[in-house]
Structure 1
Amino acid sequence: MSTKMRAVVLHADWDPKPEFKLGPKDIEGRQTYLGSKVWRNPRVTIEERDVPQAGPGEVVIEVKACGICGSDVHMAQPDEQGYILYPGLTGFPAVLGHEFSGVIVDAGPGAFDKRTNKPFKGGEAVCAEEMLWCGACQPCADGWPNHCERLDELGFNVDGAMAKYIKVPARVVWSLEPLREHYSDEEVFLLGSLVEPTSVAYNAVIERSGWGILGGIRPGDNVVICGGGPIGIAACAILKRQGAAKVILSEPEPSRAELGRKMGADYTINPLQEDFTERVLEITHGYGAALYLEATGLPTIVYPQIEKTIWEQKTLNARVMVVARADAKMPVTGEVLQVRRAQIIGAQGHSGHGTFPRVIESMAAGMNMLPMITKQITLDEVPENLVTLRTDRKECKITVRLDKE
């Protein structure tokens, strides 16, 4: 194995806005939980890096496929003042990429496969969580590792997977072996790169929404998904598989709307050409929806439409699930939430309560997410595609094929 590899690296300048105050978990000059308030002048380069070596409890994975996430785009995208658009945990320079799959090529002592409860030997097809939780803080102890007090994130403040090799703790690695019974090797790795974004959708619409729990959505309920990006499209598949009566996707881009229908949406709405509230109430015969997923990242535009629909619909106890990351504030009318017994709930990431293995098993049982991948590129093409994705919404998921390098 070579000692050097090429990697897509994001650099930016630590230049906090005047109103920014260092938080208790921020590290001066190195990382912050409020990226859009601090990091300026993002620059993406392809450069040589050392191939990582596995230590105790760690594995090195040879990356086969890695998806480009909207977070990658927004970390590399400056606003008019030069600050990055991504509002979350960031620390640069860092190798980008957190939606990936590959093959284990090195395993340190104490690196165990959760599926077999035996040490990794090398050669296993795997994917990994991007949220590196500590397992020792209060949120981790309470079963919420995606809210870890010592959280690190692959591709955000720790080197990610847009490189030939990546080192990760074995505790966040999941076997892709269940997929081999139904898919080819190439499909296994492509699907493996979709486990992370699909798990983000799963966490939002199943775990955080309280599926099957008193007050949560149940089979037979109507759902509305705002935004036909990868998370919204994955939610279409998950919710239809879980028994939602009418899955309604609000998405203005025709290609994404069509993909949503292919993946499970029963109806689509173009909010630029149709009245959102009128159309939702028409489709549902006035009942509206039990769940509204905000997956656009445009809360100032989308939330007022959701709120108006909740006010006018027959169904009480609606939940607005916020999964898209955005710096903007939501214009909330408390009276609507009170009178209609509605809730706004945030969903972050994917870890906890078995999201990864459940998504993998769902894929193995026939939930084929491969149509989400609409374009495949090489490592050298990543920088230009990060720029293209700022404005071009025709593609759903662009995947970097490192096995073709």
Structure 2
Amino acid sequence: MKAVRLHAKWDPRSDFKLGNKDIEGKVSWLGSKVWRYPEAKVEELPEPKIKRPSEVLIKVRACGICGSDVHMAQSDENGYILYPGLTGFPAVLGHEFSGEVVEAGPEAINRRNNQPFTPGEPVTAEEMLWCGYCRHCADGYPNHCENLHELGFDVDGAFAEYIVVDAKYLWSLRELEGVYSEEKLFLAGSLVEPSSVAYNAVIERGGGIRPGDNVVVFGGGPIGLAACAILKRAGGARVILSEPSEVRRKMAQELGADVTINPLKEDLVEKVLDYTQGMGAKLYLEATGVPQIIWKDLEALIWKARGINSTVAIVARADVNVPMTPEVFQVKRAQIVGAQGHSGHGTFPRVISLMASGMDMTKIISKKISLDEVPEYLTRLQTDKELVKVTAVNS
């Protein structure tokens, strides 16, 4: 079968020390510290086979390019990949996907009806392959599994014609039938994973909001846009997006944002305070990946606002140090929380239900491409910010 696989050279930086979860030459939880000279290639690979009774063979119908895919294929001036997390190469990229069941093992149970999966079922999958038995999983935090693997990072992903996934990570998309056409259903299904990352950040980790609260989202990428849609449906009085790209600002308004601000041309702090009558926001989402740029404005907002008890949720990955003023958070009774991943606490089924009830995230898809074009767009997306979500589609 055809697949897009990324290769890189294991060449650790001088300050890197092998961790207890790392495997020399194969896997590291600190990808940007060890992997050098990445190259994505379209290759012919054997079609995967079911090996365990709980596994499911899926024909991939749609798979979106994530910022993580771009950063794994992108290198710094010394040739090291930009993505800082769990990676193991070579690996087939792609984790934001949907498809239809081809074959299922006898113990592959579909949560939709508590019966074994049958061919033809439309599905999507979590990309974080949590073990279910470590302490963090047992405590209900699968995003922080101590034995974590990830589809498209250290396990072969979905930029391929077929993929095998254990049933415990799968979610049916039947609820979307009748709401979306077949092609659009699979496009929507490929956006469940990134939308669930946003849901986890603003609802689970950020604590959500009460109807009538104000929110500010920094960054209009797919996660920030999904956050705007979710927070408006959660009752946000003023959902405000800070984003330089006009294309992304318009998308945010289509998805529910009340106000969009171009921080390169407008005074972000003054605008937010004006729109909120000086109260500021209950929730701030850092979804830019460049906190070193936006942090000054974020702290100024918290400090100058009349409101207290705000939460800053950090969802974008960034291996940078950011100066923080503790006094701001003490006096304003504010807090910072980190948000990683999407699993647990029912994020996937709730996002699917939101999509079924009218939250059409397919609006963020800028372009549909073939598998052969994925390497080209992994490069193009490094600089082209007018493209929001590019999705590879298989017929």
Q: Please give the TM-score of this superposition, normalised by the length of structure 1.
A: 0.96
Is structure 2 residue 291 aligned with structure 1 residue 299? yes
Q: Which residue of structure 2 lines up, in the alignment, with residue 129 of structure 1?
A: 126
CA contact (8 A) 2:197 2:342 kept: yes
Kindly provide the CA deviation profile for residues 46-84 of structure 1, in whole angstroms up to 9, marking residues without a partner as x.
111111111221101000000000000000000001000
Q: 1:324 aligns with which of 316, 319, 337?
A: 316
Q: 1:83 aligns with which of 80, 85, 110?
A: 80
* Post-superposition offset of 1:317: 1.1
Q: Which residue of structure 2 lines up, in the alignment, with residue 374 of structure 1?
A: 366
Is structure 2 residue 58 aligned with structure 1 residue 61? yes
Unaligned runs of at least 5 residues, structure 2:
none
Kindly provide the CA deviation profile for residues 335-357 of structure 1, in whole angstroms up to 9, marking residues without a partner as x.
11111111111000100001000
Q: Which residue of structure 1 lines up, in the alignment, with residue 33 of structure 2?
A: 37
Q: Map residues 153-168 of structure 1 onto 2, 5 A cutoff.
A: 153-168=150-165
Comparing 248-257 and 363-372, the one that deviates more: 363-372
Q: Matched residues in 1 for 2:291 and 2:173: separation?
A: 36
Q: Which residue of structure 2 lines up, in the alignment, with residue 214 of structure 1?
A: none
Is structure 2 residue 116 aligned with structure 1 residue 119? yes
Q: 2:143 aligns with which of 138, 146, 169?
A: 146
Q: Matched residues in 2 for 1:253 and 1:41: separation?
A: 30
Q: Map residues 279-298 of structure 1 onto 2, 5 A cutoff.
A: 279-298=271-290
CA contact (8 A) 1:201 1:231 kept: yes
CA contact (8 A) 2:255 2:359 kept: no
* Post-superposition offset of 1:330: 2.1
Is structure 2 residue 219 aligned with structure 1 residue 227? yes
Comparing 48-57 and 58-67, the one that deviates more: 48-57
Q: Matched residues in 1 for 2:314 and 2:44: separation?
A: 38
**SS in structure 2 of the partner of residue 303 of structure 1:** helix
Q: Which residue of structure 1 lines up, in the alignment, with residue 304 of structure 2?
A: 312
* Post-superposition offset of 1:27: 1.2
**SS in structure 1 of the partner of residue 45 of structure 2:** strand
Q: Matched residues in 2 for 1:386 and 1:292: separation?
A: 29
Q: Matched residues in 1 for 2:246 and 2:356: separation?
A: 29
Q: 1:73 aligns with which of 44, 62, 70?
A: 70
Kindly provide the CA deviation profile for residues 223-244 of structure 1, in whole angstroms up to 9, marking residues without a partner as x.
0000000000001100001101
Kindly provide the CA deviation profile for residues 171-205 of structure 1, in whole angstroms up to 9, marking residues without a partner as x.
00000000003111111111000000000000001
Q: Matched residues in 2 for 1:283 and 1:395: separation?
A: 29
Unaligned runs of at least 5 residues, structure 1:
212-216
* Post-superposition offset of 1:109: 2.7
Q: Matched residues in 2 for 1:199 and 1:330: separation?
A: 26
Q: Matched residues in 1 for 2:281 and 2:377: separation?
A: 36
CA contact (8 A) 1:251 1:268 kept: yes
Q: What letter is aligned with 1:230?
A: P
Kindly provide the CA deviation profile for residues 99-144 of structure 1, in whole angstroms up to 9, marking residues without a partner as x.
0000111112311101111111211110000000000001111111
Q: Matched residues in 2 for 1:392 and 1:218: separation?
A: 36
Kindly provide the CA deviation profile for residues 231-283 of structure 1, in whole angstroms up to 9, marking residues without a partner as x.
00001100001101100000001111111111111001111111111111111
CA contact (8 A) 1:181 1:364 kept: no
Q: 1:6 aligns with which of 2, 10, 22?
A: 2
Q: Which residue of structure 2 lines up, in the alignment, with residue 110 of structure 1?
A: 107
Root-mean-square deviation (Å): 0.8
Runs (4+) of structure 1 moved beyond 3 Å? none
Q: Which residue of structure 1 lines up, in the alignment, with residue 43 of structure 2?
A: 47
Q: Which residue of structure 1 lines up, in the alignment, with residue 20 of structure 2?
A: 24
Q: Which residue of structure 2 lines up, in the alignment, with residue 399 of structure 1?
A: 391
Is structure 2 residue 229 aligned with structure 1 residue 237? yes
**SS in structure 2 of the partner of residue 139 of structure 1:** helix
CA contact (8 A) 2:110 2:117 kept: yes
Q: Matched residues in 2 for 1:105 and 1:278: separation?
A: 55
Q: Matched residues in 2 for 1:43 and 1:53: separation?
A: 26
Q: Which residue of structure 1 lines up, in the alignment, with residue 252 of structure 2?
A: 260
Q: Matched residues in 2 for 1:156 and 1:170: separation?
A: 19
Q: Which residue of structure 1 lines up, in the alignment, with residue 89 of structure 2?
A: 92
CA contact (8 A) 1:59 1:169 kept: yes
Q: Matched residues in 2 for 1:391 and 1:193: separation?
A: 23
Kindly provide the CA deviation profile for residues 267-320 of structure 1, in whole angstroms up to 9, marking residues without a partner as x.
011111111111111111110111110000001011111011101101101111
Q: 1:343 aligns with which of 326, 329, 335?
A: 335
**SS in structure 2 of the partner of residue 181 of structure 1:** coil
CA contact (8 A) 1:288 1:309 kept: yes
Q: What letter is aligned with 1:265?
A: A
Q: Matched residues in 1 for 2:40 and 2:133: separation?
A: 34
Q: 1:210 aligns with which of 207, 211, 214?
A: 207
Q: Which residue of structure 1 lines up, in the alignment, with residue 194 of structure 2?
A: 197
Q: What letter is aligned with 1:390?
A: Q
Q: Matched residues in 2 for 1:58 and 1:303: separation?
A: 44
**SS in structure 2 of the partner of residue 359 of structure 1:** helix
Q: Matched residues in 2 for 1:29 and 1:288: separation?
A: 48
Q: Matched residues in 2 for 1:26 and 1:346: separation?
A: 23
